[in-house]
Amino acid sequence: MARRVVVLSGGIGGARFVRGLREHLAETDPAAEITVVVNTGDDVTLFGLRICPDLDTVMYTLGGGIHEDQGWGRTDETFHVKEELTAYGLQPDWFGLGDRDTATHLVRTQMLDAGYPLSQVTEALCARWRPGVRLLPMSDDRVETHVVIDDGTADGGERAVHFQEWWLRLRAAVPARRFVSVGAEDAKPAPGVLEAIAAADFVVLPPSNPVVSVGTILGVPGVRDAIRERPVVGVSPIVGGAPVRGMADACLTAIGVETSATGVARHYGARNDGGLLDAWIVDDTDIAAVADIAALNITARAVPAMMRDIPTATALAASVLALADEVRSA
């Protein structure tokens, strides 16, 4: 078959889905090619280190270096660099900077400083991790998600903080008024992104954050239009009215989207209504939503969508592939 698949990924959810997809295709379609376009809006420079949380989570997950229980960061990790930075009084102290992880950031920072674009740096890092997929940052240009929140004064002013500060320090508990993707307007998709989408048999929106992960990727000029030319299957990151992990509800609320499998499907939109989706997968527990989603003109399926381990993620990927094949032949 040699399918060509593009996945737009954030961190944990996207990474685990892609690992399942890779496992499933290795068994059923070994000549298939997977390209993962990864959100870089969460990237941040701390302590002089350029940190790309989503790229690293995908790379470590696919390369066997991930802390499985935690979902991010390295296995057998220690935090002595961070302990010492804190002892020096350096801020911020809320970022979980591991020692092994620091080496990745050092390699990346050094290459970026030497003038290599992030896509080439990512390729160089992947020469070690051998993820078995092509890993591309959404853009080589700097795009940073900032979160506009109340400034806490009586006159109701606002201020913007970096996404990482809102997510990690404030734990998304301070309501976001809106998200700003700084630099997105002038950003270009990284080399290979549009080509991979154009060549894809279909595109998958995995159970990543629809706002600050997939939404940020879609905000890079040219990406949404390219995807609209290809069949698109999505997997709901919302199960039973709550995010499977992370705090996607806080993001959805900020943009006025209901935290439900149907709400997110409506947000992405049906292809026939100018949206993206041909098909949408919800978890079995949300089977009641299938009719609502179908009414939106989106092919809907309820399957076991919780990725508890590699076999369940592989099974979910199989469901996505089956649905994608069905949509393509329709």
- What is the phi/psi pair of residue 95, to 5°? -100, 125
- Residue 118 near residue 137 (C-beta atoms within 8 A): yes
Spatial CA neighbour of 282 closest among 297, 269, 274, 294: 294
Q: Which is nearer to a copy of itself, 112 or 174 (CB)?
A: 112
Q: Please report how close the Cβ of residue 4 comes to a copy of itself at its closest, in angstroms.
A: 29
Residue 303 CA neighbour count, 13 Å, CB half: 22
Q: CA-to-CA distance for 161 and 92, rounded, in angstroms?
A: 13
- Residue 23 near residue 314 (C-beta atoms within 8 A): yes
- What is the phi/psi pair of residue 216, to 5°? -70, -40
Q: Which is nearer to a copy of itself, 81 or 204 (CB)?
A: 81
- Residue 163 near residue 245 (C-beta atoms within 8 A): no
String of DSSP letters for 205-227: E-SS-TTTTHHHHHTSTTHHHHH
Q: Please report how close the Cβ of residue 89 comes to a copy of itself at its closest, in angstroms.
A: 7
Q: Which is nearer to a copy of itself, 46 or 315 (CB)?
A: 46
Q: Which is nearer to a copy of itself, 126 or 217 (CB)?
A: 126
Contacts of residue 21, defined as CB under 8 A and 6 or more positions apart, other chains included, come to 5, 7, 34, 204, 314, 317, 320, 321
Q: Which is nearer to a copy of itself, 29 or 77 (CB)?
A: 77
Q: Please report how close the Cβ of residue 97 comes to a copy of itself at its closest, in angstroms.
A: 10
Q: Which is nearer to a copy of itself, 68 or 83 (CB)?
A: 83
Q: Which is nearer to a copy of itself, 86 or 297 (CB)?
A: 86
Q: Please report how close the Cβ of residue 166 comes to a copy of itself at its closest, in angstroms.
A: 23
Q: Peptide bond before 92: cis, by omega within 30 degrees of 0?
A: yes
Spatial CA neighbour of 40 closest among 126, 145, 171: 145
Burial class (CB in 10 A: 0-12, 13-18, 19+), 133: buried
Task: Give residues in contact with a copy of itself (CB under 8 A).
Answer: 47-49, 76-78, 80-85, 87-90, 99-100, 102-104, 106-107, 109-110, 113, 125, 127-128
Q: Please report how close the Cβ of residue 136 comes to a copy of itself at its closest, in angstroms.
A: 19
Q: Please report how close the Cβ of residue 92 comes to a copy of itself at its closest, in angstroms.
A: 13
Q: Please report how close the Cβ of residue 96 comes to a copy of itself at its closest, in angstroms.
A: 15
Q: Which is nearer to a copy of itself, 96 or 240 (CB)?
A: 96
- Residue 293 near residue 236 (C-beta atoms within 8 A): no
Q: Please report how close the Cβ of residue 111 comes to a copy of itself at its closest, in angstroms.
A: 9
Spatial CA neighbour of 209 closest among 22, 57, 35, 20: 57
Give me 248's structure tokens: 């996607």
